[in-house]
Homo-oligomer: A and B are copies of this chain.
Amino acid sequence: DRQGSTAMLASTLLLKWPKTKTAGWHVGWLICGPQIHVLALSHMLNTPTKLYDQGHFQGKRMEFSSSCQNIMECGLDNIRSLKVESGTWVGYEHSSFCGQQFILEKGNYPCWEAWSGSHAYHVERLTSFRPLCCDHKESKIAVCEKENFTGRQWEISDDYPSLPAMGWPSSEIGSMKVQSGAWVCYQYPGYRGHQYILECDRHGGNYKHYRDWGSHAQTFQVQSLRRVKWTEHTKPTAHRMEWKGHFKLRTEGQHRVTNH
């Protein structure tokens, strides 16, 4: 019966809560006597990120509001331009969030060069991406001279376009501990070269060797780093959908073309 299935759905959702939180789902409940109503399903929309299979916002277009493990499963061969309309995203060279990492903040990216960091290793590919959930007010990271959090240590809570210019003794960092927020570290000064996106809620914030920074990291070289900023305007906008007896739970990797 309907009440039974609603109750089952509710418990399923409750069980799924920790997983669905990543995708940004928020569910409101109202229990009245024997009835359980799912009142509202509110999606913390990182809505929408628009992808195009041609440069300069041409060709096949798709709109995403949650992460995608492999764009090929969505009918796109490659992404050649994109628009981030809200939230902050991370793009990856390969499927399943592997390879080079690209920070994607609100704005227009008409070509691959607009988001790519390293051109020494020139692969024009963006195959998976996910929203960056970082609702922090402050950002803190400890950088250590040697791996495993040894050697000299600095606590950083500001952007550093050149670590050596601020007195850091080398062009390398051995390990990093993200205490709060999300950070982007770069191989070269001035936010250039390979990017490594480090978050307090991944790896428990511990990045004890360059191998933890990302599957593309091959060196301890880090010469600049900056916070991922979180403001009123970067907040994904909450979007409410009334639940009318049935709905399809959008899972990670699914895409949609929005109607509005």
Across the interface, which residues of B come within 8 angstroms of A165, CB to CB?
Answer: 88, 105-107, 229, 231, 233-234
Q: Per-residue 0/1 for A72-90: is the Cβ within 8 Å of any B Cβ (1 yes, 0 no)?
A: 0000000000001000100
The A interface is mostly helix, strand or loop, or mixed, namely loop
Does residue A164 face the partner (Cβ distance < 8 Å to B)? yes
Stretch of A36-44, A136-144, A185-193 contacting B (4+ beta carbons < 8 Å): A185-193
Across the interface, which residues of B come within 8 angstroms of A105, CB to CB?
Answer: 161-162, 165, 189-190, 224
Does residue A201 face the partner (Cβ distance < 8 Å to B)? no
- Using A190-B115, A191-B190 as known contacts, say yes or no to A107 and B163 having CB atoms under 8 A apart: yes
- Using A165-B231, A231-B165 as known contacts, say yes or no to A120 and B109 having CB atoms under 8 A apart: no
Q: Do A193 and B114 touch across chains, with their CB atoms under 8 A apart?
A: yes
A43 CB to closest chain B CB, in angstroms? Answer: 20
Does residue A22 face the partner (Cβ distance < 8 Å to B)? no
A22 CB to closest chain B CB, in angstroms? Answer: 21
Q: Per-residue 0/1 for A230-255: is the Cβ within 8 Å of any B Cβ (1 yes, 0 no)?
A: 01111000000000000000000000
Across the interface, which residues of B come within 8 angstroms of A234, CB to CB?
Answer: 162, 165-166
Chain B residue with Cβ nearest A193: B114
Across the interface, which residues of B come within 8 angstroms of A119, CB to CB?
Answer: 113, 116, 119
Q: Per-residue 0/1 for A210-231: is the Cβ within 8 Å of any B Cβ (1 yes, 0 no)?
A: 0000000000000110101101
Q: Per-residue 0/1 for A92-135: is the Cβ within 8 Å of any B Cβ (1 yes, 0 no)?
A: 00000000000111111101011111111000000000000000
Q: Do A107 and B188 touch across chains, with their CB atoms under 8 A apart?
A: yes
Expressed in whole angstroms, the Cα–Cα distance for A68 and B189 within the complex equals: 22
Across the interface, which residues of B come within 8 angstroms of A106, CB to CB?
Answer: 162, 164-165, 189
Does residue A171 face the partner (Cβ distance < 8 Å to B)? yes
Across the interface, which residues of B come within 8 angstroms of A33, CB to CB?
Answer: none
Q: Do A188 and B115 touch across chains, with their CB atoms under 8 A apart?
A: yes
Expressed in whole angstroms, the Cα–Cα distance for A208 and B228 within the complex equals: 30
Q: Do A189 and B118 touch across chains, with their CB atoms under 8 A apart?
A: no
Chain B residue with Cβ nearest A191: B191
Does residue A159 face the partner (Cβ distance < 8 Å to B)? yes
Select A120's contact among B111, B190, B229, beta carbons within 8 Å: B111
Q: Which residues of A contact B (CB under 8 A)?
A: 84, 88, 103-109, 111, 113-120, 159, 161-167, 171, 184, 187-193, 223-224, 226, 228-229, 231-234
The 8 A-B residue pairs with the shortest CB-CB distance in the complex, in nearest-first order: A106-B165, A105-B162, A107-B189, A114-B188, A191-B191, A105-B189, A113-B119, A107-B223
